[in-house]
């Protein structure tokens, strides 16, 4: 009876591990070993306990080995199998979320994604300088990736007015509407490499020498890392960039290529991305983004307008729409594009305001043109440009 019960628990636990490792659930276990290693460790524990139970059952029945296994020992072996299986079983809440996501129709999932994208457009147009869209938590990013996978190709015929979203999707759409204060962490003035996001992404040093990435995913990973510097982890990056789980070897290759390309333009004496032995994926202080420099310039402007020249100089870095020429799905869904646009428009409005009092028409013209690169249809900026030229 005990062997039968253990076998059932073991099979259930193994199935759950494989299901979680395949990236089908929202509540898969994640530790520093990674999901693939977790599967092997759990399978090994199940195999050892199964072997122990087999020995405990066979030895007393073989005449050549008259060994008696005491019940406490057998119970300990059974307990090992049970604990190893139960340890990886997701919580009831996670199981419920997995079931909800898996049974959602693609049209409903796409409806949720479209509402999030429409909300991002509204947020960019609002131009509230006091707040920006809140960044999703890692759990919310896992849910978002699952919804995007279920949605598949766009469903243009969905009528949002009649599509009712389940609670798990309503919560995700509501999270997209929340705001937070801009992240104004200190930027190293002695930076070596700038990741340019305001236009087609690229990375270059102070001399303008661009890093060459042999793998396009390496540049995408760098863009994600510089936007999530304070919470950059391997698991979060993999969730954001891939619909399905990527092999550990593939991801390691992409990280190595990213480090190699940066090191070539960063020069000696700087670790662009320190190696770690856990889930963290840090970015060295010598690597910054053009958005970081723009935000820092905005904060350095005094009440009398001192420092506004630096903001105008940073606005010259605006070449096009954020992430132009790419197909990074996560930048629009998680609000990265919106946050970059809001930073640019915050700088544009500040320069126009200061220039109105100083009479610097050249500043007003430069700011207006930069704003129209990220918001081409902005009526206020179009009217202002017409009055200047």
Number of domains, the chain: 3
Written as one string, the DSSP assignment of 149-186 is HHH-S--TT--TTTPPPPHHHHHHHHHHT-EE------
Asked if residue 187 belongs to a domain, the reply is no
Asked if residue 277 belongs to a domain, the reply is yes
Q: 185-207 pLDDT, tens per residue?
A: 667 888 999 999 999 999 999 99
C-alpha–C-alpha distance, residues 101 and 147, integer Å: 7
Q: 326-377 pLDDT, tens per residue?
A: 999 899 999 999 999 999 999 999 999 999 999 999 999 999 999 999 999 8
User: What pLDDT does 27 receive?
Assistant: 37
**Residues 326 and 217 reside in one and the same domain:** yes
User: What pLDDT does 43 receive?
Assistant: 60
Looking at residues 146-166, what average pLDDT do you find?
73
Asked if residue 186 belongs to a domain, the reply is no
Q: Which domain holds residue 43?
A: 2-94
Q: 238-297 pLDDT, tens per residue?
A: 999 987 778 999 999 999 999 999 999 998 878 888 898 899 999 998 999 999 999 999
C-alpha–C-alpha distance, residues 128 and 379, integer Å: 17
Q: Kindly state the tokens that stand for 370.
A: 């930069």
Which of 51, 270, 260, 293 is closest to 194 using CA atoms? 293
pTM, whole model, 2 decimals? 0.74
Sign of CA dihedral 143, 149, 150, 151: positive
315 vs 268 pLDDT, higher one: 315
**Residues 90 and 118 reside in one and the same domain:** no
User: What pLDDT does 267 receive?
Assistant: 85
Sign of CA dihedral 337, 342, 347, 352: positive
Q: What is the DSSP letter of 283?
A: -
Asked if residue 144 belongs to a domain, the reply is yes
The average confidence (pLDDT) of the chain is 80
180, 208, 231 - which closes a domain: 180
Q: Answer whether residue 116 shows pLDDT above 60.
A: yes
**Residues 47 and 119 reside in one and the same domain:** no
Q: Answer whether residue 9 shows pLDDT above 70.
A: no
49, 72, 94 - which closes a domain: 94
Asked if residue 331 belongs to a domain, the reply is yes
């Amino acid at each position: 009876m005990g062997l039968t019960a253990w076998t059932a628990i073991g099979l259930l636990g193994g199935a759950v591990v494989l299901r979680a490792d395949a990236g089908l659930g929202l509540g898969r276990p994640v530790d520093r070993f990674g999901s693939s290693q977790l599967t092997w460790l759990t399978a090994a524990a199940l195999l050892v306990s199964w072997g122990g139970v087999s020995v405990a059952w066979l030895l007393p029945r073989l005449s050549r080995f008259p060994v008696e296994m005491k019940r406490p020992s057998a119970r300990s072996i059974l307990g090992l199998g049970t604990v190893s299986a139960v340890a990886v079983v997701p919580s009831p809440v996670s199981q419920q979320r997995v079931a909800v996501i898996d049974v959602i129709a693609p049209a409903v999932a796409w409806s949720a994604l479209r509402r999030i994208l429409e909300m991002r457009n509204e947020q960019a147009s609002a131009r509230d300088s006091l707040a920006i869209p809140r960044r999703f938590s890692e759990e919310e990013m896992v849910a978002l990736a699952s919804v995007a996978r279920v949605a598949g190709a766009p469903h243009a015929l969905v009528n949002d007015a009649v599509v009712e979203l389940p609670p798990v999707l309503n919560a995700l759409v509501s999270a997209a509407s929340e705001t937070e204060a801009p992240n104004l962490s200190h930027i190293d003035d002695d930076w070596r490499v700038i990741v340019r996001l305001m236009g087609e992404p690229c990375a270059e040093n102070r001399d303008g020498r661009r890093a060459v990435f042999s793998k396009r995913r390496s540049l995408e990973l760098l863009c994600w890392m510089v936007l999530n510097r304070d919470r950059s982890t391997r698991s979060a990056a993999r969730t954001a960039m891939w619909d399905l789980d990527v092999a550990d070897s593939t991801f390691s290759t992409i990280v190595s290529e990213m480090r190699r390309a940066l090191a070539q333009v960063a020069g000696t004496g700087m670790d662009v991305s320190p190696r770690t032995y856990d889930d963290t994926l840090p970015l060295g202080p010598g690597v910054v983004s053009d958005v970081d420099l723009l935000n820092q310039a905005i904060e350095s402007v005094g009440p009398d307008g001192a420092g506004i020249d630096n903001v105008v100089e940073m606005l010259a870095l605006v070449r096009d729409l954020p992430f132009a020429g790419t197909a990074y799905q996560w930048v629009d869904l998680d609000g990265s594009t919106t946050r970059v646009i809001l930073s640019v428009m915050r700088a544009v409005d500040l320069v126009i305001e200061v220039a109105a009092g100083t009479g610097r028409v050249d500043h007003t013209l430069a700011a207006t043109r930069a704003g129209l690169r990220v918001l081409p249809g902005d009526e206020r900026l179009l009217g202002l440009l017409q009055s200047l030229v």
